Amino acid sequence: MDYVKYNYGVNEIINPSAERDLAGWIAIGDITAVPGGVETGGKCFRIGPNASLEQTVNLPQEVDHMLVSGYIHAGGLPAGDISKIMMELEIHYSGGMRDLIIIPFSSALCSTKPGNINGSPVMFSELVGSYSFRDTPLEHIVVRLRTKDIAGYAYFDAISLRTNLPVKTEGAIESEIVHYRTASISAQVVEILFPTPYAVKPTLLINIYGSVTNYTPEFIVEWDASREAYMYTRVRITFPVEDVGKDFTMLVIGR
């Protein structure tokens, strides 16, 4: 399966921005709710070294895909500590089968949004992942925010887990369409053709599992005779030579 189109529903996370302090979450280690985050007048989670904050989410059986995201501020930490901040998704299926997905935080591959910590302006970076479930009955998902041996605190806000809604036809989709693909880096430059061209430049997110992802995208614009307009039809991605042979996931969001 190359590309799948999904329309996503509501956020399944309870208390995603520490509105009710740690309610709905299980905290292990030095974790508190503090004033701040990406919304004015809000709160966020402050997580110290070797700590975790987790929540179990029960989903309906008919879903087969999820989109997860969150905002993280790690300003002031040593550069080597960035890879020690992560989101984990522990997916449980019937029969004892389990998948563990680790999404490492790297400001190099995230968009940013202004926020604050205790009233002081800071920048938060967005962490995004998109995943398909196995063709096996789903039991539940454990969403875990985790740090390892960091020299300070990481701040998490606006944690989100949304699953796909049933979509019968492409014409029924009124919101953003998400294209998701997994592929191998067979050469330093990889060109991906979009299944549906975009009228405006889309948002592109790339992740190489287990690596800090560095890449240079070049969007290709071509004339579409059926629409009588120039459209974004493909993207050419340049990776570091040391990433050749690895697998990557790509998330494209747009209209």
Residue-level pLDDT at 107:
47
Instruction: Report the pLDDT averaged over residues 232-236.
Output: 86
Q: Locate tokens 């329309």: which residue? A: 7
pLDDT for residue 47 is more than 60? yes
pLDDT for residue 177 is more than 60? yes
Instruction: Report the pLDDT averaged over residues 31-41.
Output: 93
Which of 162-176, 200-214, 232-246 is predicted with the least confidence, judged by mean pLDDT?
162-176
The candidate with the shortest Cα–Cα distance to 193, out of 206, 181, 205, is 181
CA-to-CA distance for 183 and 239, rounded, in angstroms?
13
Residue-level pLDDT at 213:
63
- 112 and 125 in contact (C-beta within 8 Å)? yes
Instruction: Report the pLDDT averaged over residues 134-156.
Output: 93
Instruction: Report the pLDDT averaged over residues 202-222.
Output: 76
Which of 36-40, 66-70, 103-107, 145-149 is predicted with the least confidence, judged by mean pLDDT?
103-107
Q: Position 73: which residue type?
A: H
pLDDT for residue 64 is more than 70? yes
Query: For residue 86, what are its two tokens?
Result: 């992560």
CA-to-CA distance for 16 and 10, rounded, in angstroms?
12
Higher pLDDT, 198 or 160: 160
Question: Rg of the chain's alpha carbons, rounded to an integer?
Answer: 19
What residues are paired with 232 via a beta bridge?
Answer: 198, 221
pLDDT band, residue 2 (cuts 50/70/90) = very low
Q: What percent of the chain has pLDDT over 90?
A: 38
CA-to-CA distance for 17 and 23, rounded, in angstroms?
11
Instruction: Report the pLDDT averaged over residues 104-110.
Output: 62
Higher pLDDT, 194 or 153: 153
pLDDT for residue 193 is more than 90? no
CA-to-CA distance for 202 and 208, rounded, in angstroms?
20
Residue-level pLDDT at 230:
76
Quote the mean pLDDT of the chain.
83
Instruction: Report the pLDDT averaged over residues 134-161.
Output: 93
CA-to-CA distance for 162 and 176, rounded, in angstroms?
14
